Amino acid sequence: MITFFIPHLYVGGAERVTVSLIKGLVARGEPVDLVLINRGTGAFEKEIPKECRIIDLDARRALTALPSLVRYLKDERPEVLITAGTHVSIAALIARLLSRSKIPVIVTEHTIFSLAFPFAERRFTSKLLPFLMRRLYPTATYIVGVSQGVVEDLRKILGMGPEKFRVIYNAIVDEALLRKAEEPFAHPFFREGEPPVILAVGRLHVSKDYPTLLRAFALIRRKVHARLLILGDGEKRKELEELARTLSISEDLSMPGFVDNPYPYIAHAAVLVLSSRWEALSTVLVEALALGTPIVSTDCPTGPREILKQEEFGLLVPPQDPESLARAILSVLQDNNLRRILRDKGRRRAQDFSVDKAVEEYMRLIAQCKSAIAYGE
């Protein structure tokens, strides 16, 4: 039995990737459990294969789920436990200690902590979390980073050698993604004859630096008529709406919030823009590559440069630089040949982030875990 442990099935990149891995493992005949801190009514639950058992610990947070998780590990004794997210990884490693079991734990991380910690609003996140990571992560069987940048950052924070670390890119591209991109969708910006749409996808969070994107869009509107669409929700909505009014761009800006299927929007956008201050491995960049949408991204730590291989598969600009971002977006909007080149090359690059490839790499890692247990290592 392979067990995945995540907080919930609400919207999120780590949750989406976990669901893709579960589907891939189940399709290969592997028995899989999915353990959730709180089941709730997550958007991804409908995608879980019926062969995968869902266990709801019915807790409010990772640490309060510990007693139930310890009981699960004692009763079910999975062959491997795979986590996604720092809080659940810490809880899983504590639970393994309390259960006195030798179950291999594969921790997966999606965050650049050296950049995220200074922005944490809670003392637990900024102070205690790094302390617990340094104490507990060395006890994991393997630590998977979703990019080389994530692994390098983790090694510096944890003070660990390379032996337990692996890089496995997120499981993103499959036939289901391409099919969903063809589904009907409705938004007035995409009506025939409307100006080109600049698209951004992601939660309204400080890490995404949407103020820089809005300021770049204000500069773009001085040159060409275009529209800006931001898919996602979060705590920065009011701040962004106020900035849009100040910049006099509200009439050409739409922020409809979260949409269940963003792929048709990505496929029909003139350009996909990532304005982030930091990223681990941006899922939406890979989705845009797969769907043939040209990309302009900030060259932020650490994912974009790794995904786009310098600037081979998209344009990179300095973070927090509205002028450079505006120039790059305009170059894509105004150069048909550049758009064609980026579209064709991007689809090839996207195959490096296929679900099949990620599942195969996890299966190899799981096999190594099982082998180590069999030989008593």
**Contacts for 30 with CB less than 8 Å, ≥ 6 apart:** 2, 363
Q: 307 and 318: one domain?
A: yes
Q: 12 and 138: one domain?
A: yes
Q: 343 and 370: one domain?
A: no
Q: 201 and 66: one domain?
A: no
Pair 196, 236: CB distance under 8 Å:
no
Distance CA 32, CA 26 (A): 7
Q: 134 and 251: one domain?
A: no
The pLDDT assigned to 121 comes to 52
Kindly report the CA angle at 180 between 176 and 185, in degrees rounded to 5?
175
Q: 126 and 216: one domain?
A: no
Q: 7 and 124: one domain?
A: yes
| C-beta neighbour count of 224 within 10 angstroms | 12
Residue in this structure with the two tokens 């029909």, named with its chain if needed: 268
Q: 203 and 337: one domain?
A: yes
CATH of the domain at 242: 3.40.50.2000
Pair 110, 84: CB distance under 8 Å:
yes
Closest CA to 208 of 142, 280, 139, 155: 280
Q: 16 and 76: one domain?
A: yes
Q: How many domains does the chain have?
A: 2
Which domain range does residue 156 map to?
A: 2-171+355-374
Q: 36 and 185: one domain?
A: no
CA distances (Å), origin 70, targets 35, 93, 186: 12, 10, 47
Quick one: three-class SS letters along the chain? CEEEEECCCCCCHHHHHHHHHHHHHHHCCCCEEEEECCCCCCCCHHHCCCCCEEEECCCCCCHHHHHHHHHHHHHHCCCEEEEECHHHHHHHHHHHHHHCCCCCEEEEECCCHHHHHHHCCCHHHHHHHHHHHHHHHHHCCEEEECCHHHHHHHHHHHCCCCCCEEECCCCCECHHHHHHCCCCCCCHHHCCCCCCEEEEECCCCHHHCHHHHHHHHHHHCCCCCCEEEEECCCCCHHHHHHHHHHHCCHHHEEEEECCCCCHHHHHHCCEEEECCCCECCCHHHHHHHHCCCCEEEECCCEHHHHHHCCCCCCEEECCCCHHHHHHHHHHHHHCHHHHHHHHHHHHHHHHHHEHHHHHHHHHHHHHHHHHHHHCCC
Q: 342 and 213: one domain?
A: yes
Q: 144 and 201: one domain?
A: no
pLDDT in tens, the chain (377 residues): 999 999 888 767 788 889 999 999 999 999 999 999 988 766 688 889 999 999 999 998 888 999 999 999 999 999 999 999 899 999 999 999 999 999 999 999 988 877 766 655 555 556 788 889 999 999 999 999 999 999 999 999 999 999 999 999 998 999 989 999 999 999 999 999 999 999 999 999 999 999 999 999 999 999 999 999 999 999 999 999 999 999 999 999 999 999 989 999 999 999 999 999 998 889 899 999 999 999 999 999 888 999 998 789 999 999 999 999 999 999 999 999 999 999 999 999 999 999 999 999 999 999 999 886 655 55
| C-beta neighbour count of 138 within 10 angstroms | 14
Distance CA 162, CA 279 (A): 22
Distance CA 377, CA 360 (A): 23
